[in-house]
Amino acid sequence: MNKRNISIIGVPMDHGQNRRGVDMGPSAIRYAGVVDRIENLGHTVNDEGDIQVGHADGSLDMDTNLRNLSVITEAMEELGEKVHNVAAAGNFPLVLGGDHSIAIGTLAGISANHENLGVIWYDAHTDMNTSETSPSGNIHGMPLAASFGHGHEKLTQIRGYAPKVKPENIVVIGARSVDPGERELIKERGIKVYSMHEIDKLGMNAVVEDAIRYLKEERNTDAVHLSLDLDGIDPIYTPGVGTPVPGGISYRESHLAMEMLFDAGIITSAEFVEVNPILDEKNRTADVAVALIGSLLGEKLV
C-alpha cells in the first residue's frame, strides 16, 4: 500500500448555518481516534491544529441574503492558504469540519496545485444554492456553486481566482434533498449527479465505478478531491448532523465507496464535515467519520 504523509487541518466553524455545535466537529473526530486509525495503516500523520475562526452574530444580511459572510470569507482565505501550502509540500490534506461552507476554502487551496481538478461531493444535498436561490441564506448550502464560480463574488473569489473546479468535473453522490434553483443549475451546467434513485437502482458498486471512470477517462482529471458530508449517510447511522435527510446511503455502502476510491488511487485530498456532537449519540457520527477515513486510506475488513 502506498504510504502517505497526511496533514490534518481542523476548521471549527459553525457560521455557515444557524445550528450551534458543528464547530466542535474537529475535536469530536480527533477524540474518536482519527490519528491512531491513520497511523495504524502505516501513514505518517501531522496534525496541523485548527485554523482561527472569528465570532459572528448569526444575523442574515438583508442586502445580500447571506449569513455571516465576512467572518466566513476571512476564515476561508486562511484555510485556503493552509491547504495550498500542505498540498504544495506533497502532503495529503485531510480537512475536518465544521459545516460544509469550509469546502470553499479547501477547494481554493487545492485547486491552485492542479490543472484539472475533479471533485466527488458525497452528500444528501448538492450545495449549489446562491443568495438568490437559497431559502435560508446559509452559506453551507452554497459551497459547490461558489467553487465553480457561481454566486457572490466574496465567495467565488477566495484566494483571488475562479473557478476552482469545472462544473463538468464534479460528481455528486447520494443527493436526495435538492432545491428548485439547484435543479436548474445542475441541468444548465451538466453536472453529474447520482441521486439515491440511481444508487438504489444500480447499486453503489456500479455508481462508484462509473464515477471513477468518468473522472479518470472522460474528464482526464489530474487529481480528485473528496468532500464528504456525514448527512450523505442515512441518519440511523449518523444522528449527529444538522440537516439529516432520511433514506440515505447505508454504513456498509459508504465503506464500499471509500474502499473503491482507495483502490482506484484517485483521491488526493479529502474533507469530512458536519459532525455536530451536540446532536450526536455517544459520538457515533464522529466514529463513523473515522471509520470511513480508515477505509478511504486503505483499511480493509480482512
Which residue positions form the known binding site? 100, 123, 125, 127, 229, 231
Q: Residues 77, 182, 229, 259: which is the catalytic one?
A: 229
20: which 3 cell numbers?
A: 450551534
The verdict on whether 140 is a catalytic residue reads yes
Q: Is 80 helix (H, G, I), strand (E, B) or coil?
A: helix
Strand arrangement, sheet containing 5-11: 44-50, 5-11, 92-97, 267-273, 223-229, 117-122, 170-175, 192-195
- What whole-number distance in Å separates Cα of residue 290 and Cα of residue 228? 12
Indicate the residue type of 150: H
The candidate with the shortest Cα–Cα distance to 237, out of 187, 284, 168, is 284
Which of 14, 50, 127, 182 is labelled catalytic?
127
197 is catalytic: no
Residue 227 phi/psi, 5° resolution? -115, 105
217 a catalytic residue: no
Q: Give binding residues for Mn(2+) as ranges.
A: 100, 123, 125, 127, 229, 231
The yes-or-no answer on residue 127 being catalytic is yes
| 43 assigned to active site | no
Report how far apart the first and last C-alpha atoms of the chain are (Å, whole number). Answer: 14
Catalytic residue among 14, 99, 182, 231: 231
Is 14 tagged catalytic?
no
Query: How far is Cα 168 from Cα 214, in angstroms, rounded to an integer?
Result: 10
Among residues 15, 43, 84, 140, the one annotated as catalytic is 140
231 carries an active-site annotation: yes
Catalytic pick among 43, 84, 114, 125: 125
Q: Is 135 exposed, middle or buried (0-12, 13-18, 19+ CB in 10 A)?
A: exposed
Which position among 50, 77, 259, 274 bears the catalytic label?
274
**Catalytic positions, written as ranges:** 100, 123, 125, 127, 140, 229, 231, 274
